[in-house]
Amino acid sequence: MSESISVKITAEKLNLQDCYDFVHDASCGGIALFVGTVRNKTKDKEVTLLDFSTYEEMAIKEIKKIAESALEQFDILKIAIHHAKGILEIGQIPVIISVSSPHRKASFDACQFAIDTLKETVPIWKKEHFADGEVWVNSTP
């Protein structure tokens, strides 16, 4: 099953082409690609940069679980989930998910499932930096 899954957490710039090439296959009629990008505002407040930290070993495990679950639930061939760590500036890419499948619906569904689940379960945290301070996203009870 592992040749169907590509998982990565890296301090280097994420590579769209790598994610595309990994899932590309002659048997598939479509590839869905989700690209997260750093937004310049949170609730009208200007963001200067984001700092991503992670419990990396556990995060890799949790991302693999998501990929395995997507392969079980949806009629897809391959899935890549790559996430960045460290400091990212506006417009840079924290996450890329690519999925290939014989028919397009499964790719769309799996891609949505993967990003939604990642945002709930994978131990990665972002700190938003503003001109006048910084805050851990989601940390307020």
Partner 1 sequence: MQLEVLFFGITADIATEKSIQLEIEEGLSVEKLRIFLQIKYPNLSNYKNYSVAVNMEYASDDVVLKTGDAVALIPPVSGG
What is the Cα–Cα distance from 141 to 132, expressed in whole angstroms? 22
* Residue 96 binds to partner 1 (criterion: CB under 8 A): no
Which of the residues 55 through 84 are near partner 1 (CB under 8 A)? 55, 57-59, 61, 83
Q: Dihedrals φ, ψ of 128, to 5°?
A: -90, 130
Q: Answer yes or no: are the C-beta atoms of 129 and 49 closer than 8 Å.
A: yes
Question: Any contact of residue 48 with partner 1 (CB under 8 A)?
Answer: no
Contact (Cβ atoms closer than 8 angstroms) between residue 85 and residue 10: yes
Report in angstroms how near the CB of residue 140 gets to partner 1 at its nearest: 8
How far is it, in rounded angstroms, from Cα 71 to Cα 46?
A: 39
By beta-carbon proximity to partner 1, the closer residue of 102 and 108 is 108
* Residue at token pair 């890329």: 96
CB of 37 or CB of 103, closer to partner 1: 37
Contact positions vs partner 1 (CB under 8 A):
36, 52-55, 57-59, 61, 83, 94-95, 115, 118-127, 136-139, 141
